[in-house]
Amino acid sequence: MSDKKLISLDKLPLNCTGEIEYIKKSCRNYRRLLEMGFTKGCSITPLYLSPMGDPAAYCIRGTVIALRKEDASDILIVQKEGI
Amino acid sequence: MYDDCCVISLAGNPNTGKSTVFNALTGLRQHTGNWTGKTVVTAEGKFYYKDKCFKIVDLPGMYSVNPNSPDEKAAVDFMSSKKSSLTVAVLDATNLERNLILGLQIIEQCSNVIVCVNLIDEAEKKNISIDLDMLSSLLGVPVIGTNARNQKGLDKLKETIYNCAKLKNDEKIKTYYGNISNIVKKAEKIYNMSVSCCCSNKCGYDRKIDAVILSRKFGIPIMLFMLGIIFWITIFGANYPSQILSGAFNFIEEKLIYLFNYLGFSENIKGFFIYGMYRTLSWVIAVMLPPMAIFFPLFTFMEDLGVLPRIAFNLDCCFKKAKAHGKQVLCMCMGFGCNAAGVTACRIIDSPRERLIAILTNNFVPCNGRYPTLIALSTIFVAGITGSFVSIKVALVILIAIVLSVAITLIISRLLAETVLKGMPSSFILELPPYRRPQYGKIIVRSFLDRTFFVLLRAIAVAAPAGAIIWLLQNVTIGDTNIINYISQLLEPFAFLMGLDGFILLAFILGIPANEIVIPLIIMFYLGNGSLTNTESVTEMANVFFAHGWTIKTAICTMIFSLNHFPCATTLWTIFKETKSIKWTLLSFILPTTVGITICIAANFVMSLFL
């Protein structure tokens, strides 16, 4: 618990897994993200960055979902240890 | 007759194989695509089981019962209305956790639900095992495992539908799960209790392919290469069937003339029906059908494979800068085939604002109907008919035209987003579905019937009357000259400013039914013979152009105007149907025309300085 540091999803390096802590309520797509399965405690892994750097594709609950940077920055996560 | 049928809605996330279940149940082979929002028009079909008739409605894919797009709204409205007496929720077995979120919402919203866990074979391959009985008891509704692709579990599904349809309204139980967070928690819990998965890496092969296709280095080149190949096959592959078709139509025309002569009709009747209506119609079909019959199956192939969302992913950044949606690129790709089809495809965009941008700018990408103009003119004036590397030079001109059209689309999108269509950029939450093996036989049949046939029918409906009008204009004379000459003289000063001449501008205006007839119309006006003429060779066409004072300047301005001018009648009609607004339809007419006129005048002015 001591080194539990919150970072936003877009800061998570590729192929590192994080756990969703919370989504900012101010996020325009708050509800839609929940419906797509972006909920607290869920593991999420950035897989690819598109050729121009944005959007990025994330593996969550077994599917690959692409998010733009603005949306990803509203999702706060805790990076998991190791791979 | 339908009243006797029990109406069943088929609902589920995109990419769960809903349409495959639909096809398997009804036998009506509705096309299944591998990208979000394929079912843009709800499909209906019937099947009989035992003594009962069932009408089944395939709803557009959705992620939630709180509609975010017109697609979803239609689906949810129908499903929860009294019209539908039973809902079959199709869930993807390979991704049950996410699918259950919608599944629970459907159970909450609709009173009579059957859950169909599809793609169960694919899940087995991925070592996912699902306890269907457990799932059924947790959800409180019947759960059937199916693999619709090979008919597995379908009899059981039919039997369950049959039994559930008998329930009366008061026997149905309403369930409430509370707000979305609770639903997600519930879905997670149900998933953990009923599914065991021994393999954590769920998307092995896909990742290897995606690592290349979505990579920084290869992503965009691969995409351009794929599009290039598709265009090349379409444009050059269409030549031969086109020739065969026009040969066949000529043969029929000869017979028709023979018949008309035999029946003793006057020259005018013969002219009106054969040289006017028949010839325009056959021209449009001969030029339009082959490229579409090639392009749409190729496009459908990419769609089935699951490549399209990845193209949107790779290019979203450009569209974000233009304040538009990444999915717009898919509508544009479709627009390269036919703008009317492209406009329809805009339904996949959720936000109404970004959807309108996509609709209004779709006409800026050249459709199949405009390639003949571009090819003919670049062959004659840029490559030189007898020069070397003609096809490479022509391909280069087409490539420049495409790049230009994409650039203009982005600029205009941005312009629209900052003026009439202001607003917050909406979400870009796009699922990249797993790659699926396309079903080849179906591709050919469905893409032909779905798109080619649809576009062709509409074109035919406008081409025949248009042919009649054109013939009248050309053959009715006031004083010594025909109406065509009067109008073209009227247009001459303005056309001159744009680097064209009156005949060319008039050809574009009369070419509103179909872009394909623009070049033939110009030639017809020049030659002054009262009907569309088959120019046997490019050389012959070139001679006509040169004889009427065409220079490279005229050719370039004509090509520019061909890229940027009002949409054809079919597209306008489609835009009206999609937006349900005369205002936007009018804007979609004015916008490209203004852009075209402006660029033509500017280009003409600049070229006058140098050439």
SS (H, E, C) B350-380: CCHHHHHHHHHHHHHCCCHHHHHHHHHHHHH
**Residue A66 within a domain:** yes
Q: What is the pLDDT of residue B405?
A: 94
Tell me how far CA of residue B329 lies from CA of B379, B412, B511, B512, in angstroms. Answer: 29, 14, 27, 25
- Within an 8 Å CB–CB cutoff, is residue A14 touching chain B? no
**Considering only CB atoms, which chain B residues are within 8 Å of A33?**
429
Domains with residue ranges and CATH for chain B: 2-202 (3.40.50.300), 219-422+443-610 (no CATH)
Mean pLDDT for the stretch of residues B310-324: 89
Tell which residue, B58, B11, B71, has the closest CA to residue B31: B58
Most confident listed range (B173-177, B289-293, B504-508, B513-517): B504-508
Does a structural domain hold residue A34? yes
DSSP B180: H
Residue A1: inside a domain, yes or no? no
Predicted local distance difference test score (pLDDT) of residue B39:
44
Identify the weakest region by mean pLDDT among B8-22, B247-261, B573-587. B8-22
pLDDT tens column, B427-445: 788 888 888 877 776 666 6
**Residue A66 belongs to domain spanning:** 6-79
What is the CATH classification number for the domain harbouring A13?
2.30.30.90
Residue B404: what pLDDT? 92
Contact A62, B97 (CB under 8 A): yes
**Whole-number CA gyration radius for chain B:** 28
| Residue B38: per-residue pLDDT | 44
Q: What's the confidence (pLDDT) of residue B41?
A: 54
A51-63 residues labelled b (16+ CB within 10 A) or e (exposed):
bbebbbbbbbbbb
Which of B379, B407, B422 has its CA nearest to residue B564? Answer: B407
- Bigger pLDDT: B51 vs B100: B100
**pLDDT at residue number B563:** 94
What is the complex's ipTM, to 2 decimals?
Answer: 0.91
- The answer to whether B367 and B455 have CB atoms below 8 angstroms apart is no
Ranges of residues in chain A with a pLDDT under 50 are 1-2, 83
Section B4-13 average pLDDT: 84
Predicted structure pTM score: 0.81
Who among A50, A54, A65 is closest to B429 (CB)? A65
Domain count of the fold of chain A: 1
- The residue that leads in pLDDT, B258 or B514, is B258
pLDDT tens across B195-253, in order?
776 555 555 677 888 888 888 888 888 888 888 888 888 877 888 898 899 899 999 99
pLDDT(B83) > 90: no
> Residue A44 domain-assigned?
yes
- Which B residues 136-195 touch A at CB under 8 Å? 180-181, 184-185, 187-188
The average pLDDT across B137-155 equals 87
Determine, for residues B207 and A47 on separate chains, whether the beta-carbon distance falls below 8 Å.
Answer: yes
pLDDT the model gives residue B36: 46
Residue B37's pLDDT is what?
Answer: 45
pLDDT digits (tens, 9 = 90+) for B537-588: 778 888 889 999 899 999 999 999 999 999 988 899 889 988 889 999 999 9
**CB interface of B with A, residues 185-244, below 8 Å:** 185, 187-188, 202-203, 206-207, 210-211, 214-216, 219-220
Give the Cβ contact number of residue A18 at 10 Å.
24
Report the distance separating Cα B342 and Cα B139, nearest Å. Answer: 40
> Token digits for B389?
């590397």
Identify the residue with better confidence: B602 or B168.
B602
DSSP secondary structure letter of residue A75: E
| Nearest CA-CA partner of B222 in B232, B233, B209 | B209
